[in-house]
Structure formats: structure tokens, C-alpha cells
Amino acid sequence: MVKPLLTLASVYLAAIGLALLVAPAQFGVDAVPEDPSPQLLALLRLLGGPMIGIAVLNWMSRTAAATAVRDTVLLANLVGFGVVAANDVWGVFSGEARDLAKVFLVVHLGFAVAFGIAWARARTTARMDS
């Protein structure tokens, strides 16, 4: 379960990161004004870099043996996707988010749940091995 999950998350985060770098205004449809300031575009592009970095971390970790390092990668993804999913929930149910946030809510919540299960299983396995 871990390898496909890290692979999928890696591809997803790389796509989001590249979209933020290459086409930030188009990626931010319904959230970014029609004539965004260069500063706003620079900020959106700035966010693309860490996304690509996490994508690489996930990609490189996907075939790693079960270790504390890989378990930390799982936990970091759980926290990251969990926070983003919570933000999506808030935005969707408060009406403050764009319509597309409903799709992202499902995706981010799915990743958060999957990483939660993977991390919990890794912790259980680590306890049984010691």
C-alpha cells in the first residue's frame, strides 16, 4: 500500500507544483483576479517549489524499506494533506472557497486518510518487530 500511495502523491504534488510554477493564474482560476499583480504570481510560484520538493521526497521514499525515515515521510504527508483537507473543509462549508475546492477536498481528504492508515500500519509493524 505504501509504494502506490507515495507514487500517487508524488505525481499529484509534482503536477500541482509545476502548475503553480508555470501557470499560476490559470491554476488559481476563480481565486486569482483576472489581472493578478506580479507579486501575487511570484507568491504562487514560490509555493510550487516546496510542492515539487515534497514530490521528489515521496518519489525517492516509495521503494525504501520500512524504517523510521520512511515512517516520518508518511507522517509528514499525513500532516500536510490533513491540514490542507481541513482548510478545504472550512472553505467549502463556509462558502469562502471556490467551487473547485469541492474536488480538492475529496482528493486531499482521501490522501490524508490513506496516509493515516499507512502511518498507523507502519507504527503497528514497528512495535511488533521490536
pLDDT digits (tens, 9 = 90+) for 13-54: 999 999 999 999 999 888 889 999 999 999 999 999 999 999
| pLDDT for residue 129 | 67
What is this structure's pTM? 0.89
**HSE of 53 in the Cβ direction (CA atoms, 13 Å)?**
6
Mean pLDDT of the chain: 93
| pLDDT for residue 130 | 61
d(C-alpha 73, C-alpha 58), whole Å: 7
Q: Structural domain tally of the chain?
A: 1
107 burial via Cβ count (<10 Å: 0-12, 13-18, 19+): middle
The domain in which residue 11 lies consists of 2-129
d(C-alpha 101, C-alpha 15), whole Å: 17
Query: Is 90 exceeded by the pLDDT of residue 126?
Result: no
| pLDDT for residue 123 | 86
| pLDDT for residue 29 | 86
The answer to whether 97 and 29 are in contact (CB under 8 A) is: no
